[in-house]
Each structure stands twice: as C-alpha cells, then as structure tokens.
C-alpha cells in the first residue's frame, strides 16, 4: 500500500473523485500543510492556520500508479486558481501536491510540466508542490461526505 496527499479546493468532491479510481483502497479528508497542531474545521476555515483541505489516498501501486493519480488530480479541479476553487476562497482551498518522498516529488514536477505544456489549462498552473507534513484527519461528518448525503 502506498500513500499520496492532494489538495484541490473543498475536499468533499476531491475525495469522491479519487474513490472512483480502481486501485484506490482508502481515502480520508483532512488538513495538512499548516502550523497549528490538531486543527478543527472551524480553525482551518479562518484561513489563519496555514492548512489546506486535503485528501489522503491509500492505493495499491500494482493496480494504479502515482502518475495516474496525478492525472486524476489535474481533472478534479482548476489548477490555475490561486487559493480558490469555485466559490471557495482562501489558502485552505489551494491547489497543492504534498509529496512523501523524492520519487513523488519528481513525478509531481514532471506531471505539472506535462499538464502545463498540454494546453488543457487556460493559464499558468498555480499548483504548489510541497513536502508532506502531518496530516490531521477531519471530523467524521466530512468523511465520504457525498456518499453519506447524496
């Protein structure tokens, strides 16, 4: 089992998108990339903790590659938006790939360059590529939100 962490705006839709990928075993929504320890949703919503709403994806690398997850990531949101996705505004909604090791970092950089060169995006990609830090799992009511609420 391998792990990847992505931020692409509100975590509900991003999680739902990754759950559809064959080879993804487990997903969890949460907060990462900030300074406050054990933040709650209300803390992160203030935009002062530095955290992004993110999705941790546990996957079987024999069924789906990290590179394939990166391809899915680009399709789940508008990576040209800085700190915004749709009506959601703030650093907690930034587009970011949180790499776990040097291989993931290299793959993320190459994928970002490939996506920018593809012409599919209507502007410069704003996605950050950051070293993974502590991932704090969000409250239970956020987990698999769309599956629970339709």
DSSP string, 84-134: EETTEESGGG-EEEEESSHHHHHHHHHHHHHHHHHT-SSS----EEEE--P
Q: Which of 8, 4, 12 is nearest to 82 (CA)?
A: 8
Distance set, CA 94 to CA 26, 48, 131 (Å): 23, 13, 15
Q: Mark whether 10 is an active-site residue.
A: yes
Active-site residue, selected from the candidate residues 4, 5, 7, 10: 10
The set of catalytic residues is 10
């Amino acid at each position: 089992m391998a792990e990847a962490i992505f931020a692409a705006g509100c975590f509900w839709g991003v999680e739902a998108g990754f759950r559809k990928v064959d080879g993804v075993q487990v997903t969890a929504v949460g907060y990462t990339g900030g300074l406050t320890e054990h933040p709650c949703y209300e803390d992160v919503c203030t935009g002062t903790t530095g955290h992004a709403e993110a999705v941790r994806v546990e996957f079987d690398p024999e069924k789906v590659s990290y590179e394939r997850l990166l391809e899915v990531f680009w399709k789940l949101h508008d990576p040209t938006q800085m700190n915004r996705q749709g009506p959601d505004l703030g650093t907690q909604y930034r587009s970011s790939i949180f790499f776990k090791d040097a291989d993931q970092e290299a793959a993320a950089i190459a994928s970002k360059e490939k996506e920018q060169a593809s012409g599919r995006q209507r502007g410069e990609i704003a996605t950050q590529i950051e070293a993974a830090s502590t991932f704090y799992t969000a409250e239970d009511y956020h987990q698999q939100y769309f599956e629970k609420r339709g």
